[in-house]
Amino acid sequence: IFAAVEMAPRDPILGLNEAFNADTNPNKVNLGVGVYFGDDGKIPLLAAVKTAEKARLETQPARGYQPIEGIPAYNNAVQNLLFGKDSELLAAGRAITCECLGGTGALKVGADYLKRLLPEAKVYISDPSWENHRALFESAGFTVENYAYYDAATRGVNFAGMKAALAAMPAKSVVVLHACCHNPTGADLSAAQWKEVVELVKQRDLVAFIDMAYQGFADGIKPDAVALDLFAASGLQFVVSSSFSKSFSLYGERVGALTIVTAGKDESARVLSQVKRVIRTNYSNPPTHGGAVVAAVLSSPELRQQWEDELAGMRERIRAMRNSLVDKLAAAGATGFDFIKVQRGMFSYTGLTAEQVEKLRAEFGIYAVSTGRICVAALNTRNIDYVAKAIAAVLKK
């Protein structure tokens, strides 16, 4: 039965890990996948996480099945982080949250649910968007189209183009928005622009699906949630996928959440019952460990503070690497990269072509996404000179 099966292409992001792991170049650097590494080149285990994990494992908790939607302590913690604990929306019972398998899992559960609810809708993603968005929504059965977003000339957002695209979308279209730290470009909307987007979503009767995988990596937990605040204040119904992979450095634990904002409590109960069916027929219920650890950190004032401090440390180190990369590129003869300093989040959309990215890999063992996206959070004081010189070299050829 498998004789005619064709080889599928490698995943554009995770496939780079496979190639990187197989590479024997001792100088190799992986700037492909969006993972934060410390200056020592290792994925950090946050101190707040370590404390919460230790306390949890000491109790030797039983491993029974979790509720289909995950535990209330986790789901409440997610909601408080997204909307603030004094949120009116939360007090009114307008949000339901399910623990999902990372941000990707949340997107897929949300996509599967929306496909059942709005079978005729089209999904619109930014041009460009996270490499997996299109495939994920297509795998849920949607037709996926782009909306204008990035302006390569200004290295910023083509906001006029984005607004025109939103204004032309049919009612009930699903529009996928990046809350902050746009992946891959690092070009975000301002608060004033978000206001206009919310207004257009309302006018056009669109369904916003807000992907929030990097809360805390631009300016901090609260400022990075400005889009959510504005959507919350609008009275609209919308969907949010969020993730603790990056902010808690818990990539492999797959800790994410799907949150759906409804018109009220009664609607919330009905929507939750339907989302639970989607989850039950997919993976049944989420795993125990990661969600419990995140809930423990977020519900302890001391651990939460420690976590926010550690998150700020990651954010500041990324900024330092951005500044240093620009300076080192200039010193190596590659000027015009100042935009790297203002891009937000883990990534830099460098403008390198697919051929230049391929040269970086073949000649230097430096891995980046073929679109020219590099993960700045994987640079450190030991590899940055090598990377800057390599980029300058491939630009000269």
> Is 307 one of the annotated active-site residues of the chain?
no
- 337 vs 347, beta carbon nearer ligand LMR: 347
Task: Return the exposure string of 106-122: e unless at least 16 CB atoms fall within 10 Å of the residue's CB, then b.
Answer: bbbbbbbbbbeeeeebb
What region does 176 belong to: left with phi over 0, alpha with psi -120 to 50, or beta?
A: beta
- 184 vs 229, beta carbon nearer ligand LMR: 184
Q: Is the preceding omega at residue 128 within 30 degrees of 0, hence cis?
A: yes
Q: How many residues bind ligand LMR (CB under 6 A)?
A: 8
Paired with 311 in beta bridges are none
Distance CA(334)–CA(389), nearest Å, equals 9
- 14 vs 45, beta carbon nearer ligand LMR: 14
> Is 130 one of the annotated active-site residues of the chain?
yes
- 130 vs 149, beta carbon nearer ligand LMR: 130
Instruction: Build a one-symbol-per-residue string for 103-122: x at contacts with ligand LMR by CB under 6 A, - elsewhere.
Output: -x------------------
Catalytic residue among 115, 188, 194, 211: 211
Determine the distance from the C-alpha atom of residue 356 to the mean position of all C-alpha atoms in its chain, rounded to a whole number.
Answer: 26
Q: Smallest gap, in angstroms, from Cβ of residue 131 to ligand LMR?
A: 7
Catalytic residue among 246, 276, 328, 359: 246
Instruction: Build a one-symbol-per-residue string for 143-162: x at contacts with ligand LMR by CB under 6 A, - elsewhere.
Output: --------------------
User: How do strand 373-375 and strand 347-349 relate by DSSP bridges?
Assistant: antiparallel
Token digits of residue 179: 């809350």
Using DSSP's 3-state secondary structure scheme, residue 367 falls into strand
> Is 211 one of the annotated active-site residues of the chain?
yes
Position 343 contacts ligand LMR (CB under 6 A) = no
Amino acid, single-letter form, for residue 365: G
Using DSSP's 3-state secondary structure scheme, residue 87 falls into coil
- 34 vs 291, beta carbon nearer ligand LMR: 34
- Taking CB under 6 A as the criterion, which residues in 165-194 touch ligand LMR? 183
Name residue, tokens 């699906």: 209
Q: Smallest gap, in angstroms, from Cβ of residue 130 to ligand LMR?
A: 5
Token digits of residue 164: 């025109």
Position 33 contacts ligand LMR (CB under 6 A) = yes
**Contacting positions for ligand LMR (CB under 6 A):** 13, 33-34, 104, 130, 132, 183, 213
Active site amino acids: 130, 211, 246
